[in-house]
Amino acid sequence: MATYDVLVAGELNPDLILSDPNLEPQFGQVEVMVETAELTIGSSSAIFACGAARLGLKVIFIGVVGEDMFGRFMLNALEQRGVDMSSVIISPTQKTGLSVILSRGTDRAILTHSGAISVLQSEMVIDDLLKKARHLHVASYFLQTDLQPGLADLFRRARSLGLTTSLDTNWDPTGAWAGIDAILPLT
């Protein structure tokens, strides 16, 4: 019997949100003041995990963070929200990814350093972990470049073990949307 309702396999990075209704970044070393700044939970996978836990589901997460302050921030923030982070890999060689959001009212620009976002591989999601959950959710397909080649196999393994699967593709920064056609039938 499954211990968890959902296993989330995905990226873990905070968002640094800089907001001002009149925000206009300027190059040339011009310092621009902003109204607010906030470091918060970022990444589609982490946001989904927190939302599922808030709805009362038992959630476990697998992903990769660096051994740094942003990694610790994400681990602590999700644990505080009821997400089991015991399967997250802490890498001494990778830095935790980070997105900087420049927000002005209803529009925003997103600048992302991928860091450890891209290093999760399907082989890291072992069958013993899959067997602990009823559902597998993966998000940000296009940012998780090392997960892409084995994702179809991961979904097949999950389904063969009785899990349902879902995929949030999120945005493709290249605009190509390559590889999705092979994955969608497995969700």
Domains of the chain and any CATH numbers = 4-22+36-186 (3.40.1190.20)
Mean pLDDT over the full length of the chain: 96
CB neighbour burial string for 131-161, b if at least 16 within 10 angstroms, e if fewer: ebbbbbbbbbbbbbeebbebbbebbebbeee
Q: Which helix (H) or strand (E) holds 181?
A: helix 180-183
Six token digits for residue 56: 């009362």
Which tens digit of pLDDT belongs to each residue from 64-100?
999 999 999 999 999 999 999 999 999 999 999 999 9
Q: What is the pLDDT of residues 141-152, one digit of tens each?
A: 999 999 999 999
SS3 47: helix
CA dist 85 and 83 (Å) reads 6
- Kindly report the pTM of this predicted structure: 0.94
Task: Give the integer Cα–Cα distance in Å for 125 and 187.
Answer: 17
- Average pLDDT rounded to a whole number, residues 122-143: 97
